[in-house]
Chain A
Amino acid sequence: MSLNFDPSYALEFDFGRGQIRMANASERVVVPCDALLALCQGASEDAVRDFGRRLGTEAGRVMNDRLGEAWQASLETVLEHLGGELALMGLGSLGLERWGHALVLSISHSPLGSTSDLLLGSVLEGAMQRSFGRDTVAIKLMRDDQKVRFLMAGHAGARKAGDWLAEGVAWGDVLSRLASRGAS
């Protein structure tokens, strides 16, 4: 399966009705980033997490509609299509890293900034849930000016990694420990 992502006519602006529609999706609303951030900052963590999951679920659904059988899709294909859907939402550029057995997804150039990392992680969790039917936890490993890295792990691994990160273990060592512990 090597279907390329084609963003042509992905968005449809209906000026007569004042609506913006996305192909094979419902209506969209273009809102300012700072307004969205202010909303997220005022809302509870669960509300933001739920909001993000809903965004990811929608992206996963569209990707599944495009790919048909997403569970057979390769790394590149999933990255291309899921990244395309997130780019259409304006959330940033999706990246994929493989550290041994660990799957690391990164989002760079996000207009939401560092205050939206919970939101972005929740988007990724909703996409994995919707596309592949797996409950995943996105653990933020690091953050810099341009990029934020999330470790896609299960609940057990996410808890350990969270603890090590809270202890000050470097995110590389966290990955190494997860890999060594998992290997042993």
Chain B
Amino acid sequence: MNQEINKLQELLARVQRNAALPRTLVSAREPSAPLHVAPPVAFATPAYVPPKAEFTADEVFFESEPPPPAPDYVLPEPAVQASASLDASVDELLLEDPFPSVPPGPSYNEVLEDRAPHAAASSSRPLDHEDDVSGVVAISEFAEEPEELLEDDIVEMTASEAAALPIANHALDELSFDDVGMDHQPAAPASDDEPPASSSRSKIAGTMDEALARAAEQIQLEEGREVPLKTPPPESGPQAAVALPTGMHAPLSPDIEELLEADILQTAGVRAAVPTAEQLGQTIDLEEPRGPSLELDQRAAFGSEPLQEDLPTEELEVTLPGREFGGGYQEDLMPPPEARQDLDAHRQRVGDDSIPPPPESLAQYPSPQSAVQSSGFAPVAAPSSVTTDSYSESVSTVTIDAPPNTEFAPELLARPDIGPSPVAKFIRTEAPRPKTFMELLDSSLALGSD
């Protein structure tokens, strides 16, 4: 027991001595140690854990606190050479104080030359956190960890064993500064079988049953998921192009020029009965017209002059009948219903209900009545002769010879015959212009003299 106490006291003293060492030289390891031989695994290692062989939970005199859970595995002890894995340039950048308050200590070379036998155990003055104005102390602190190891804790490893160790990260940005030693529970290695939590892609189903099961689960999840109201589902979206079987393709757009050319050729009589293959493939069946059929047909009554029969049926231009059809009418035309009452009244007034007179066109003169009307009232009949006589070019009179069978002949008054008489007289005297005032005066004095 005393031996152990002594040993602990010695260990404590050593720890205190090591703590007094200047930290700037902690990282100064043997530069001869190759970096690749001893990877800097010490940065990732947790705090020092006493081996079981030396300390047990029962032997610890700190009984008030429960013993820390023993790790299931023992991390490989960092080799002494591991601290040398730091890049010397990085150490210089990190450890050099840009604003030193005290004179800088000796350089690495000087320290190495002076204290090479002491190795890193006895170095220059210690470096506190307050002295480090640069704020970068993590590397030096981690680099200081191996110094706290006991000699018994140092495990000598061969080159083959070092190679068997997992390769540590060399890059500074990949260093893990997590305090993994607090709980002495190293992070469990990530399982390669499970996808990361941030991954949105699921694993590919190995079998068809598994795929079906996943699809069913997905459907159930989607059914239970509440769809946001503000994001309506897309009505249509891009669809995957389905490859058509070989030999089939979508119909091409019709070429207007080719169609027009085909129509022109057909009209001109060239290949009229042979439609092109493109036309056959793009023929569209039109629906039957639903409205009343409009046909421009020539009536038989007007068929004295043949129309142009050689015109194609789609031609809508029809030659109108000539002037001989002007004013013609059909004999079977009936008067409009609103005029029938007036017509009946007229027939009753005339007294000829049996034989309806044929209607007369307004463009024709009324036909003279053959029989004298018995009522004595003679309508105004067209005169038998109309003559125009004029005494001058500007004055005209009309003389109407009334028919002999009319009782009341119209009386027309004409202006009396007036012979031409002078209305105005304009006399223009052609007096010669006198050359001198004397001549005019003499001619004027001669006026009125007999």
Contacts and interface: CB of A to CB of B under 8 A. Distances in A.
Interface in A141-155: 151-154
A102 B444 contact: yes
B329 interface: no
A164 B450 CA distance: 16
A75 B444 contact: no
A101 B431 CA distance: 7
Contacts of A161: 448
Interface in B394-450: 427, 429, 431, 433-438, 440-450
Nearest to A136: B445
A136 B441 contact: yes
Interface in A34-87: 70-75, 77-79
Contacts of B445: 134, 136, 152-154, 157
A103 B438 contact: no
A154 B438 contact: no
A77 B437 contact: yes
B127 to A, nearest CB: 132
B434 to A, nearest CB: 7
Most buried by A among B431, B443, B447: B447
A75 B434 contact: yes
B448 A153 contact: yes
A129 B435 CA distance: 20
Contacts of B446: 101, 154, 157, 182
B40 to A, nearest CB: 135
B440 A179 contact: no
Interface in B265-279: none
A74 B441 contact: no
A153 B440 contact: no
B281 to A, nearest CB: 105
Interface string A152-181: 111011111100000000000000101101
Given A74-B435, A74-B437, A78-B437, A103 B444 contact: yes
Nearest to B427: A176
Nearest to B429: A100
Interface residues of B, number: 20
A136 to B, nearest CB: 6
Interface string B168-189: 0000000000000000000000
Contacts of B443: 101-103
A interface residue count range (under 10 / 10 to 19 / 20 to 34 / 35 or more): 20 to 34
Contacts of A183: 429
B346 to A, nearest CB: 70
Interface string B120-143: 000000000000000000000000
Given A72-B436, A100-B431, A132 B448 contact: no
Contacts of B438: 71-73, 132
Contacts of B434: 75
Nearest to B435: A74
B450 to A, nearest CB: 7
A157 B433 CA distance: 21
A98 interface: yes
A154 B440 contact: no
A128 B444 CA distance: 12
Given A74-B435, A75-B434, A182 B441 contact: no
Given A100-B429, A179-B429, A153 B435 contact: no
B448 A73 contact: no
B440 A151 contact: no
A83 to B, nearest CB: 12
Contact of A132 (B435, B441, B450): B441
Q: For A72, A102, A152, which residue has the most chain B Cβ atoms within 10 angstroms?
A: A102
Given A101-B431, A154-B448, 10 more contacts: A74-B437, A100-B431, A103-B443, A152-B445, A153-B447, A157-B444, A157-B445, A161-B448, A179-B447, A182-B447
27 contacts: A70-B437, A73-B436, A73-B437, A75-B437, A98-B431, A101-B431, A101-B444, A101-B446, A102-B447, A103-B444, A132-B438, A132-B441, A134-B445, A136-B441, A136-B445, A151-B444, A154-B447, A154-B449, A156-B450, A157-B447, A158-B448, A159-B448, A160-B448, A178-B447, A182-B446, A182-B447, A182-B449
Sorted from nearest, which 7 A-B pairs have the closest CB atoms?
A157-B448, A103-B444, A154-B445, A78-B437, A157-B447, A101-B443, A156-B449
